[in-house]
Amino acid sequence: MDEISNQTLAILLVAAIVISLGGTLISLNRLSRVGIPLITGRAADDTADIDLIIGTETDILFTVDSINWGTGTVDIDSAHCTLDSYSTPIHANCSDFTPVTEGLILRNIGNTIVSLNISAGKNAETFIGHESAVYQWNMSDYLAGSCDNWGGFGEGAWQDASTTNTTTCTEFLPSPGQDQLRMDVRVVIPRDSPVGAKEDIITATATVAP
């Protein structure tokens, strides 16, 4: 068998290299069409922020803001007449006054625990016009647990109405289902009190509880 010359070997080697390169180029071209991503060997990540601020809102509202006993008189054989939105009977020794079976309702409509102060525009004498008149109020939970601390005021205990701020509930809650207080009023009218319309304004003030 004749030996292959060096020239022939060189030609075959060049041909093999050309064929190999051609196959590689064809394979790369097909891979680019398939769209296989290049593997870089490095993972990438980034971060994002979510931010908000819940603002403070301190607010209260009388959802029931009126007690009106209408027109009436003290019974003829009685020294005085008692009107009461809380106790039973709700009026005693009175004639023709309209019974009131529920007091004022105060709701914490803000989002903070507040300290509640109450003040009247008049005292008993200036309200009814008689030095022996009685004008009182009491506070109690309308929804159970609405006041977390009565601060010595005395839930459901009658207090003389005052024209100066009186701290009642020191921790009035804003929680749904625990955000409403009841304020009842009692008035004792002596028989010889001056006739005419009697009116007073109750002011409730809320401050953020310490």
What are the structural domain ranges in the chain? 1-34, 60-208
The answer to whether 167 and 115 have CB atoms below 8 angstroms apart is: yes
Per-residue confidence band for 107, with pLDDT thresholds at 50, 70 and 90: very high
Average pLDDT over residues 110-131: 97
Model pTM? 0.76
Return the minimum-mean-pLDDT range out of 25-39, 70-84, 170-184. 25-39
Return the minimum-mean-pLDDT range out of 15-24, 45-54, 152-161. 15-24
3-state secondary structure of 7: helix
- CA–CA separation, 97 and 121 (whole Å): 23
pLDDT given at position 207: 96
- CA–CA separation, 163 and 201 (whole Å): 10
3-state secondary structure of 27: helix
pLDDT given at position 185: 96
Q: What is the pLDDT of residues 73-105, one digit of tens each?
A: 999 999 999 999 988 778 889 999 999 988 999
pLDDT given at position 1: 46
Per-residue confidence band for 26, with pLDDT thresholds at 50, 70 and 90: low
Continuous segment of H or E residues that includes residue 204: strand 202-208
Q: What does each C-alpha distance from 181 to 53, 63, 90, 191 come to in angstroms?
A: 29, 10, 20, 33
